[in-house]
Copies of this chain bind each other. A is one copy, B any other.
Amino acid sequence: MKTIYKSAQEAVEPIQDGMTLMVGGFGLVGIPEQLILALVEKGVKDLTIISNNCGIDDWGLGLLLKEKQIKKMIASYVGENKEFERQALSGELEVELTPQGTLAEKIRAGGAGIPAFFTPAGVGTEIAEGKEIRVFNGKEYVLEESLTADFSLVRALKADTFGNLVYNKTAMNFNPMMAAAGNVTLAEAEEIVEVGQLEPGFIHTPSIYVQGLLQAEQEKRIERLTTR
């Protein structure tokens, strides 16, 4: 029932310069690898990217950064990436650092039609400067507004042809909330199965949030291999 793209190039075709994109993943885990590569190839620029991290120098969102396709980055942790630091310090890149839980909740709120909410994270720090502070039950909270995107790019383990998604282990992370918060959501899945193959009680992202699907193999690079 949903559009199944033949290639990542075809999937990202409608993404234009200046758009806001949410990109799933935590570190390199759960990132939509092929969609990111297709954005690099397409050369689309002046992007605002909302993602927990910004990849590493030679993989993931780091590739878009290297090609200077990102105008603004909204993230919680960007410490893995030297080029990021260089562009941020030089002023080439606009950066909005957001506490990770606030980022997750802003995206969740965006998909859920909640325009703003109060959270304790960041109260008394520079994150709360210029924002409304209000006391509930004797504790201070800061008002944070929701985030939405023109396109959300997510990575799933399995998709069915209706667009229901299942994620693998910690590759879930930001993907479900982003799937809900994108005006258009493109899901890159390791496998696309016939509708009816996924168990209705164990769907992580219901089909209503997904507009386009792409089947693609994943490299799954490991950032920090640690063994016993």
Contact = CB atoms under 8 A, between A and B. Distances in A.
Given A145-B136, A201-B168, A202-B202, A117 B120 contact: no
B119 A137 contact: no
Given A145-B136, A201-B169, A109 B120 contact: no
A118 interface: yes
A120 B146 CA distance: 14
A114 interface: yes
Contacts of A172: 201
Contact of A115 (B113, B116, B118, B199): B118
A160 interface: no
Contacts of A114: 105, 117-119
Interface residues of A, number: 26
A141 interface: yes
Contact of A136 (B116, B134, B166, B201): B116
Pick from A119, A139, A145 the residue with the most CB of B within 10 Å.
A119
Given A136-B145, A202-B202, A116 B113 contact: no
Interface in A85-116: 105, 109, 112-116
Q: How many copies of this chain are found per oligomer?
A: 2
Interface in A161-182: 166-169, 172
Contacts of A115: 118, 136-137, 139, 141
A193 to B, nearest CB: 16
Contacts of A145: 136
A167 B202 CA distance: 10
Given A113-B120, A115-B118, 10 more contacts: A105-B112, A105-B114, A114-B118, A115-B136, A115-B137, A115-B141, A116-B117, A116-B136, A169-B200, A201-B202
Among all A-B residue pairs, the 5 with the closest Cβ atoms = A115-B136, A117-B117, A202-B202, A116-B118, A114-B117
19 contacts: A105-B112, A105-B114, A109-B117, A113-B119, A114-B117, A114-B118, A114-B119, A115-B118, A115-B139, A115-B141, A116-B117, A116-B134, A116-B136, A136-B145, A166-B201, A167-B201, A168-B201, A169-B200, A172-B201
